Structure 1
């Protein structure tokens, strides 16, 4: 590593951090650290998601997935500014738990020759200035670009550019707001792929920190990766995960590295490579991660070289390290019809779905052009844009019975409390609590003892004839068994 080069970059980042903001009021992000806010419902003891990786026995029962729905108001942010020539490209939409504001960090570029060029995935890079921009919203639907004027003030007065770095290529700025780190100068963290014009040791996924999400300092850490990466923090533990890309043979494939402090990282390991069920044109382009009902899930971006299109599958992990695709590999988010805003590709958003009321929003990168195809002929009105898709609260994956079917979960330690079920059924549903292994149903918590429930409920309490709650089983290993005709069950919640 060229130490003087790295020192120059770090000092330049610090200088940028000292620049004044114009027409923008700083938020409380720079204030003294406060502990993370409590969960929306502090009465929750534990949640169980009925995803395929948490199910054991089943009869007349199948996995159930809910395709994401695209609202009519899409796309919600289009390229309008002269510095957004490439469109509104890959980025992260967060909702700050501190002020409730939606914050969007996205990449774009504008013409401006750099020092030479480099070929990246059949595209010559280096002819444009790659920058990161910031937009914000009160509702996640109507967005504004604050006039920050941190960079390129003369060329673009009133711009919202927050990060620039001379490069052949900068890609996929992935941002988290970290409430675990006690240092307020490191409240926001960013990972971005970079190809340096002078120092090859700076090629890879570069890490940055910021007190406010607007002024960034390069940490000096570069993770080994190609482009199309994603940073995730498990807010249950504070640990960081970097989803990276390399090729296995000619196929884009996915790797994982992790860190406890954002400084020292594990060596990357493969997590997704093509298998016997994938054809020769299958590539794993990018992925994201999130938690739902206590289970770690993610969205995996697949790219079909033969059609040049991308779509999104659901994936899951029991420990954040070992990942698996769903057995049926369902397409939960697909490109739109020809000529629409995402007809060329639906690329994963680089942040978690956001719960708004009883609906999750997943913001994604929408392209009317296929990967290596200029379908729009350069029409500026059809440049990449920000779009979102939705699913109902905790209803993304579950189990569905046919006839008189049932299923049971993996064993887990009972937290006690009251049990609530998220389900849909026009008939009767019953719930039993089973022992692990070869054990049967616990006395008092059998299928026959359960008071049947019916209807469409995000949260319906389950009781038994002599047992109104599960306090009697607290600390014991249990399994949940659900029985019914044509039941669609998504999750269970234990509450005080």
Structure 2
């Protein structure tokens, strides 16, 4: 990828003063600011919109961004935009899918994880790891590069008279699937390094016990040898969906996503429960329910924490008419040709409880072409892997519909996105974006962006504190900084008066982006 950054303005004016003197200097206000092209009402020359001189303004608490890259999914960091529009970007399927191929070996279940799996890149072993389900048993695979996977012989679970296989869980008269594996925080490491959330049910009918559907917790130090906690089941009741577990470090709680068991007529909705200790769970409550723009059912949702945001890969289940004997049900989104298909929308949340989606409800991952390995259904597995330049999303691709039909196999597949590439803020011509007040952490401003031919991105720094909110800073205006053009996931922007933002560290500022024919995916501060 090629990109260009051109410096504009004078050379570093304060270089000879020294860092100590620079730190003591007050920030100078830029009194005269020219109007910019494109947007009406941008009359900045008189400062008519600013509140300087008010009797008493209590400053807002700034957003503490730290070193976290700021995604532009929502209005969390964005205060105002003009002529900018959010775009949800679909991942690109790997041409070598499925990445785990079926095998002809009677000692092991054929193929990879055929049901809901959990993917994790282990920073200790430097390997990709996946826990999934096949033939109602837990299967385990590893990879050094995320493309070529191996099935280690674990000698743990019997399969047709042999333990020479990669089964790590299940058996003993019970079937298991829907695996979600996370690392435990330090306060619970006495239980092991990993926690496993899984769904268990009895094989065969058990009329003496009624239903046997349970969501359970197990622990392991190595991610191979799991042992159930004594306080199981965590939650009893049917939830044959990708149940998944996410740790919330801001509130130090574990968040479980499952189906809603109490319902008007349909269980396929997204319910939430949380726990401090993985033993006592809150009563599940619905956090996502089909509305007037949705498919009739929300089959499930896998959730992953990524750069301070909780991303939800919401499974849209088109089952409105043929599957029920209670009479026809109309599709709310009128997509009747997708009966019994499942595809993915992208959702996001800042707390894991209150969820948002793009108002246009675009499909994030569509099902494939007829006759391909994922024509019928796609399910994004639990876990997002950030490789630096790309995001790896592993998903379950099903060749058939959500009904019994021949050739309805599921496979373990890969799709990729550019880093932070879930949603971009775009302008087809001239656009502007102003952030909310944020506490400058210092370091260098870095952006992930792409421009069309003739396009560019410029950035100015404004004050964001109290009655000084919005004042333009001398040396930090658009003309004092760089012009970015091209395509880069980690471009460094620097102003002519300073190599970084150390002079503004711990001050409340706003960033003002001027974009021409550009896509902005994220920005952040780092050395």
TM-score band by shorter chain is 0.7 to 0.9
Distance 1:295 1:420 in 2: 19
Distance 1:160 1:385 in 2: 17
Distance 1:155 1:242 in 2: 36
Structure having the higher strand fraction is: 1
Match of 2:444 in 1: 418
Q: 1:46 to 1:76 in 2, by over 3 A?
A: closer
Q: Which has the higher contact order (CA 8 A, sep 6+)?
A: 2
RMSD: 2.7
Distance 2:210 2:111 in 1: 25
TM-score (norm 2): 0.74
Q: 2:505 aligns with which of 462, 474, 482?
A: 474
1:193 maps onto 2:199 in alignment:
yes
Q: 1:250 to 1:170 in 2, by over 3 A?
A: farther
Distance 1:189 1:164 in 2: 16
Match of 1:366 in 2: 397
Q: 2:93 aligns with which of 66, 70, 73?
A: 70
Match of 1:227 in 2: 240
Q: 2:424 aligns with which of 371, 392, 398?
A: 398
Q: Unaligned regions of 5+ residues in structure 1, if any? A: 1-43, 110-129
Q: 1:434 to 1:316 in 2, by over 3 A?
A: farther
Deviates more, 1:295-304 or 1:362-371: 295-304
Match of 1:286 in 2: 300
Task: Tell whether the 8 Å contact from 1:78 to 1:384 is kept in structure 2 after alignment.
Answer: no
Distance 2:193 2:210 in 1: 29
Task: Tell whether the 8 Å contact from 1:230 to 1:286 is kept in structure 2 after alignment.
Answer: no
Distance 1:434 1:205 in 2: 51
Q: 1:101 to 1:152 in 2, by over 3 A?
A: same
Q: 1:203 aligns with which of 194, 203, 213?
A: 213
Match of 2:363 in 1: 331
Match of 1:443 in 2: 473
Match of 1:308 in 2: 340
Query: Residues 262-305 of structure 1, C-alpha deviation per residue, up to 9 Å, x if partnerless?
Result: 23322222210012222xx5211121222333333221111111
Q: How many residues align?
A: 426
Task: Tell whether the 8 Å contact from 2:458 to 2:515 is kept in structure 1 after alignment.
Answer: yes
Match of 2:184 in 1: 178
Q: 1:386 aligns with which of 387, 405, 412?
A: 412
Match of 1:494 in 2: 525
Q: Unaligned regions of 5+ residues in structure 2, if any? A: 1-65, 321-338
Q: 1:494 to 1:286 in 2, by over 3 A?
A: same
Q: 1:288 to 1:214 in 2, by over 3 A?
A: same
Distance 1:493 1:190 in 2: 33
SS of 2:515 mapped into structure 1: strand
1:483 shift after superposition: 1.1
Q: 1:201 to 1:154 in 2, by over 3 A?
A: closer
Larger radius of gyration: 2
SS of 1:46 mapped into structure 2: coil
Q: 2:457 aligns with which of 429, 434, 437?
A: 429
1:322 maps onto 2:354 in alignment:
yes
Q: 1:411 to 1:277 in 2, by over 3 A?
A: farther
1:238 shift after superposition: 5.7
Deviates more, 1:97-106 or 1:191-200: 191-200
Which structure 2 residues correspond to residues 12-411 of structure 1 after superposition, within 5 A? Answer: 45-54=67-76, 55-80=78-103, 81-82=105-106, 84=109, 88-109=114-135, 130-152=136-158, 155-165=161-171, 170-178=176-184, 180-181=186-187, 183=189, 185-196=191-202, 197=206, 199=209, 203-219=213-229, 220-224=232-236, 226-228=239-241, 229-234=243-248, 239-246=253-260, 248-251=263-266, 252-278=268-294, 281-306=295-320, 307-350=339-382, 352-374=383-405, 377=406, 379=407, 383-411=409-437
Distance 2:497 2:401 in 1: 60
SS of 1:45 mapped into structure 2: coil
Task: Tell whether the 8 Å contact from 2:234 to 2:278 is kept in structure 1 after alignment.
Answer: no
1:442 shift after superposition: 3.7
SS of 1:482 mapped into structure 2: strand
Distance 1:227 1:167 in 2: 18
Query: Residues 295-341 of structure 1, C-alpha deviation per residue, up to 9 Å, x if partnerless?
Result: 33221111111411111111111222222122222212111101111
